[in-house]
Each structure stands twice: as C-alpha cells, then as structure tokens.
Structure 1
C-alpha cells in the first residue's frame, strides 16, 4: 500500500463568510483559489498542522472545529482533508504572507465568484451546505 500524505485545508468561517486564498505559486496553480492550509508534517496531528499552516500563511491564530466529511485526492501521494476553522478573539486579520497574493471573504452567494482549484471544489460544496445551515 502506498504511503499517503495528508494535506489539510481550512474552511475559515467568520460571520457567515468563507475565506478564499488565491495561489501565487507554483505557476500551474497561480491565479486559482483554494482553501488555505498545507501538508501535515511527520508526528503532527492534522489539527496542529492546520493551526501552524494558518499562522505561517496568513498570520492568524485559529481554533480548529469539525472535520468536513470526506477526503479528496490530490497529486499522488497527497489527499486533502478539510476542517472548519474560526479566528480566535484578538487574532489579526488574515494577510497573504506566502503562497498567496490575495484573500477574499466570500458570502454564500459569492462562493462561486472565484475560479477554485479543481480539488477544492467538492470541499467548498460541502462547506456551502454548512453556510446554508448557519
């Protein structure tokens, strides 16, 4: 069986909006939008990886909530798992520090206004059902 690497994505929710991040690298992904996050390092839990990645990529302090059901294949050996995340009180506003050149808070009606990366679309659909419920 092939070893797989988990990539964690953040469905960062605030006031009924979802944070989307536009990739600036690598070139084949630049200009497309994703849920921010990154690879889980050896010995790290997915939740800890998400908190670390969001601190590195966006400069924010967060609390991880529920895992969105499902996982989505990326390039072998990577698989995407997504959690809901919220900003902790007192956290600065997110800023695109690395890998991204723009951030946008999207309301339920704006979710499909950006060109999402293909692998993020099923996760965003799942998150949309949660936004509808909120």
Structure 2
C-alpha cells in the first residue's frame, strides 16, 4: 500500500499527509527497509507526536533528517564522527515541529557543514532511504530517519560543527563497507549498498 492510498490519509492533517507522501516515494531496498517503511506509516497515521520537544528522548520516538553529501566526481560520500553517538554517520538533525524534512536538511547542512544543500539528481528533494533505529547511551529513544542525498564537491566542505562532530571523512562505498559495523550507524552498510546500486543505475560515479 502506498501513502497515496493509505486509508487514514484523508483524515490526517497536512504535515502528516505530506510525510506519508514522502515515505511513499522511498523504494525499499530490502525486507528490513520495507518493514521500517510500514512501521513509519503506522506511526505517522496513528497520531503519535512526531517531533522532538525536549532533548534527548521526548517523545521517545521522533523524526530525523539525515543527509549524505556525495562527491560524484570522486565517487565518495561524507561521514561525520558524531560526538554523542560515538559513531560515524551522515550529517543531519532532528526535524522541528511542523518543519518540512527537506527544510531541516537545508537548515542543518548550513549549520553543520557551512554549505548550501544541493539535492542530488538521484533522488532530488525526496528521501532516498528510511530507517527506524533505537539509539544507545543516555536517554535512549527511537529515531525515524529520512535519508536525503546531496551533491557537493569535497573541496567546498572546509569546516564543520566541532561541537557536534570530532572529525569528518570522505569514503567510497567500498571503504564504507570495509569499516566495522560497530563504528558506523547500524544501517550504514545497507545504505552504502543501496547508494552504489542507485549510482550504477543512474550511470553516475562510484
């Protein structure tokens, strides 16, 4: 069932209906992503609060926008060493109340990397991947994360938010897959495989 024919969509407010449309645009990569998409649909349509209102875990499940910054010429993507998570991740942040997830990408990209968000032609201003992930550490909660793709030349990323990140790295998808899963977002290997497939299908780098 797609978001457009979800039985509850007609009764939802505009932001929730829009979110259903966004996740309906995500082509599931595997059975786990299919399961996560279905879980996200039920969460959105069920009327639960969607946005974080107090750090780190209120409500215990909330919406996040990730953005993978890609350098097509080099066939590389940018990962950041997130201080609180203790993992290498794409950049991103929590979606504010009523905020469009793409607007959150634009805002966070400027704040965290100091560059303007330019959507990759692979997915445009639509999410490419979706995950539902339980966090670890203090204040465990569940992030429903929309993963977007951005285009940027690696040379344009000259600084980053050092309060959030301890380092940044540009890696090919092969290098991502060679990294220990314990050091990465738990879905990073799956994302890298999906990205490599999408790049190949689009005839792009990598």
TM-score by length of 1: 0.79
Higher strand share: 1
Residue 172 of structure 2 aligns with which residue? Answer: 107
Contact 2:176 2:189 in 1 (8 A): no
User: In the TM superposition, what whole-angstrom CA distance separates every residue of 1:51-110 from its partner, at most 9, and x where no partner exists?
Assistant: 11111111111213423544211234530111111238xx94252313111111112321
Counterpart pick for 2:112 among 57, 67, 77: 57
Contact 2:81 2:89 in 1 (8 A): yes
Secondary structure at the counterpart of residue 61 of structure 1 = coil
Higher helix share: 2
Secondary structure at the counterpart of residue 106 of structure 2 = helix
- Of stretches 34-43 and 71-80 in structure 1, the one that deviates more from structure 2 is 71-80
The structure whose RCO (Cα within 8 Å, separation 6+) is larger is 1
Residue 34 of structure 1 aligns with which residue? Answer: 89
Residue 81 of structure 2 aligns with which residue? Answer: 22
**Pairwise CA RMSD of aligned residues?**
2.3
1:118 aligns to 2:118 (yes or no)? no
Q: Which runs of 5+ in 1 are unaligned?
A: none
Residue 74 of structure 1 aligns with which residue? Answer: 133
Contact 1:33 1:116 in 2 (8 A): yes
Structure of greater Rg: 2
Secondary structure at the counterpart of residue 117 of structure 1 = coil
1:95 aligns to 2:159 (yes or no)? yes
Distance 2:143 2:129 in 1: 14
Residue 63 of structure 2 aligns with which residue? Answer: 6
TM-score by length of 2: 0.54
1:129 aligns to 2:197 (yes or no)? yes
